[in-house]
Amino acid sequence: MSAEVDFMPHSAQASGCVDFVMPLDKIPGKLKSLAAALKI
C-alpha cells in the first residue's frame, strides 16, 4: 500500500466514504472500467 500508515485505507473504507481499497498499479484500470460503465 502507498498510504503513510497501513491502517489508513481500511479505516477510511470502514467509515463508508471509500468504495475501493487497492494497490496503486490497479487504480488506472479501475478508473477506466468505471468510466466505460458510465457510457450510455
CB 21 within 8 A of CB 13: yes
Q: What is the pLDDT of residue 1?
A: 54
DSSP-based three-state secondary structure for 17: coil
Q: What is the pLDDT of residue 28?
A: 96
Supply the pTM of this predicted model: 0.62
CB 9 within 8 A of CB 18: yes
Q: What is the pLDDT of residues 1-40, one digit of tens each?
A: 566 777 777 788 789 888 888 888 999 999 999 999 998 6
Residue type, 6: D
CA distances, 29 to each of 15, 26, 34 (Å)? 24, 6, 9
Q: What is the pLDDT of residue 5?
A: 73
Q: What is the pLDDT of residue 18?
A: 84
